[in-house]
Structure 1
Amino acid sequence: MMRTASYAPHLGSALAAGFMLVAALAYNLGAQSVEPDQTETLASTGQADATAFWPGVIRVEASNRIEADVYVRGEEPVPVEVSASSPAPSPSLAAARQRPQLAVIIDDVGLDVAAADRLLAMDVPLTLSILPYAEAAPVIARRASEAGSEVFLHLPMEPVGVEDPGPYALTEFQSAGEMSSRIRWAFSRVPGATGFNNHMGSRLTSDRRAMDAVFAAADLPSSLIFVDSLTHPRSQAARSARAAGLNALTRDVFLDHAPDEASVSAQLNTALALALQNGQAIAIGHPRPQTLAVLSDLSRRAEAVGVEIVTVSALGASPSVEIES
């Protein structure tokens, strides 16, 4: 009986990803990534809903761009490298899905209202992860749902080091009652959320006992999706979420670790390559001007290489390759 070389599937997958990257880079060189500012802002529609007093709510003027004094920068997620030896998608996955899928989550939404307006104006199914302590969080969440974007809660968690995750963050030694209260408050600030991911949280997510306590205290409906932002290389968050009965996914690519347009564009190419190679991928970015400029051309770039842009819920509903804990 003739045997095929064991490396053949891996070689084919790597070649496919390589050809895709060449095509995407060529397309990117000729693409224009300038989007005009939107004239309508959230501040002009329903801003009164966001002015009610909530403990810990941070107020930011709608005209503010993302600047150091008004933008809470989270700790940087762990980079993920793509190598030619990455496994090829399983036959069952390839048969179950006709097109590779990429979900793009935009974290830290809420503090810059003008940036949220630009995201809502994009004709692409993004997932907006909203900080619960942002003053405009409820308004943006409702507007996002009406615009067809998916709404996530960006749940603050304790990081390693001295960075501030924001008001009402979950920390390692809180009681179950305190955790439950903070989680309920956070979800009340982001109406219509279909899932959530961690904001910072490198200390909390790397502790399995602590994460088990978080999900036990939360008592969340199984319909919610949890995405591990992977801010620590030994994160236990996704495993704990699955053990609690939630559909849990993990971030693959961080788009704007280096926030210049060339780097964001290159990371988007990596995310598209992973989607082609593995059948699906999740990328996370932030509402920075450079990231928004690159994402303004997301639909055309994805279409050019045969990748479908979907919400996290759509991705979570698709068959996926299970990774052993």
Structure 2
Amino acid sequence: MAGTPLTELNRPLGQDRPGSALAPRRPWARWIASGAAGIVGVAFLGVVLYAAIKRDPDGGRPVAVASIEKRAAPPPVTPAGPSGPSVAEAPNSGAASAGQLETSAGVTVYRPDASAPGSIVITVPDQAATIRLAPAPDMRLAERTRFGLLPKVAADGTTPAKLYARPVGPEPTPKPLGRIALIVGGLGISQTGTADAIAKLPPQVSMAFAPYGTDLDRTVQRARGEGHEVFLQLPMEPFDYPDNDPGPHTLLTGPKAADNTERLSWLMGRFTGYVGVANFLGGRFTADEAALSPMLREMAARGLMVVDDGSSPRSLLAASATRARIPAIRIDRTLDGVPQAAAIDKELAALEAMAQERGIAVASATALPVSLERIARWAQGLEARRIQLVPLSAAGSFRNPKTTGSLR
């Protein structure tokens, strides 16, 4: 080969280029060659992977196929009540029957203001301890005045007598032999006595607050928070006035009766959330039809209930209110006319007998320590004796319409 002349066919590639003898001394040439080989290898691997992926688009990952199908929504299920069909299945029998259903079942229906048109909140209690009264004040039922917030009838006809009342709750099983409504008055003046009454008395006991205590609104709301519906006691002129003075802003007869509207506004503005009013004293005032009429017109316009404490046999309060179509009731018995334990126990026994005879009996007491102690002790055994305590606002729904002082 040494003597063979170099031609295009046997000349080593690049051997005739100038400076080709220096090629082995340039390492970067080898690096370029190595890089080129690497690129070729990567390209080849890419081709292989591409082919594999084309054959298996999921690249070897586990694959599961699930079908999606539409199903019709199940029909709505309305829970049935304790007995019989659900409320939704009941025939539409009108507003009167709906109101009766709310009262008998202990259902509170609260209809918010116009910010939520058509909405209602329904509270269905399952036992006495779970019943919660409607919040107060509800501004739909409140009028701002220089005397404070006064009650009024809402634009939709809702009244304080209805909204602020305590629901009766479900009827006990077995059926009661009689029912008793009890109101305890004189609250709000003594902080200790009021706190004891709220703590000791069952929540079904209604409470009446005098208008003269301090921090009344907070005290009243604490009582309502424990489930007690509340009433406002109105001081009224007794026969021996002014020797026996019920207090400032007393409602009076005679020439001074012209100022009763302003006095009444001051009294009603003392706190909020009350179902109605009850007289405090007032033998002369409640026997005077001319003095009573303006007050009763105010009660009717403001949607309040009226309670006659039964202390005066000459009182026209309950009868006049009933004729004016104002919800009203008269107390049957006063438990602590003689504030002694034995006498109170005797009155309580007579009250039970009256309840069993008439179906419902209504009583009042004052917040004396002995009265609170005897009532709390007596109430503990009522369930065993099949006597049901009900709020005063509901007493009329159980009373025989022929009974004097019935609530209408």
Q: Does 1:146 align with 2:222?
A: no
Deviation at 1:305? 2.4
Q: How does 1:110-121 map to 2 (within 5 A)?
A: 110-121=188-199
User: Between the two proteins, what is the percent identity of the paired residues?
Assistant: 28
Opposite residue 395 of structure 2, the aligned amino acid is L
Contact 2:180/2:355 (CA < 8 Å) preserved in 1? yes
- Paired residue for 2:382? 302
Counterpart residue identity of residue 128, structure 1: M
Within the alignment, does 1:107 sit opposite 2:185 as a pair? yes
Q: Which amino acid is the alignment partner of residue 269 of structure 2? A: S
Give the SS at the match of 1:285: strand
Write the letter of the residue equivalent to 1:279. G
Q: Which residue of 2 aligns with 1:288?
A: 368
Matching of residues 50-199 of structure 1 within 5 Å: 99-122=177-200, 123-161=202-240, 162-173=243-254, 178-199=259-280
State the one-letter code of the partner of 1:283: A
The structure with the largest alpha-carbon Rg is: 2
- Give the TM-score taking structure 2 as reference length: 0.53
Equivalent residue letter for 1:144: A
Q: How far is the alpha carbon of 1:231 from its aligned partner?
A: 2.1
1:206 corresponds in structure 2 to 287
Deviates more, 1:135-144 or 1:253-262: 135-144
Contact 1:137 1:190 (8 Å CA) reproduced: yes
Q: Which moved more, 1:314-323 or 1:240-249?
A: 314-323
- Selected match of 2:320 from 240, 244, 248: 240
Task: Answer whether contact 1:124 1:299 (CA < 8 A) is retained.
Answer: no
Cα RMSD over matched residues? 2.3
SS in structure 1 at match of 2:383: helix
- Change in Cα spacing, 1:319 to 1:221, as seen in structure 2 (3 Å) is farther
Spell out, residue by residue over 1:142-192, the C-alpha distance to the aligned partner (whole angstroms, 9 max, x if none).
Answer: 111111001001111000112111110101125676222222221221310
1:252 aligned to which of 332, 351, 359: 332
Q: Distance between the aligned counterparts of 1:304 and 1:284, measured in 2?
A: 23
Amino acid at match of 1:183: L
For 2:348 and 2:262, locate their aligned partners in 1 and report how far apart those are by CA, in whole Å.
37
| Cα separation, partners in 2 of 1:257 and 1:157, compared to 1, 3 Å | same
CA contact (8 A) 2:181 2:391 kept: yes
Please list every run of 5 or more consecutive structure 1 residues that lacks an aligned counterpart in the other structure: 1-53, 56-96
What is the distance in 1 between the residues matched to 2:293 and 2:184? 26
1:279 to 359, 368, 371: 359
Structure 2: distance between partners of 1:295 and 1:178 = 39
Extract unaligned runs of 5+ from structure 2: 1-145, 148-174
Give the structure, 1 or 2, with the largest relative contact order (CA under 8 Å, sep 6 or more).
1
SS of residue paired to 1:270: helix
1:130–1:190 Cα contact (<8 Å) kept: no
Aligned-pair distance for 1:219?
4.6
Which residue identity is paired with 2:314?
Answer: R
Deviation of 1:218 after TM superposition, in Å, equals 4.4
Residue-by-residue CA offset, 1:15-43 (whole Å, 9 max, x unaligned): xxxxxxxxxxxxxxxxxxxxxxxxxxxxx
Aligned to 2:296: 215
Is the 2:203–2:226 Cα contact (8 Å) retained in structure 1?
Answer: no
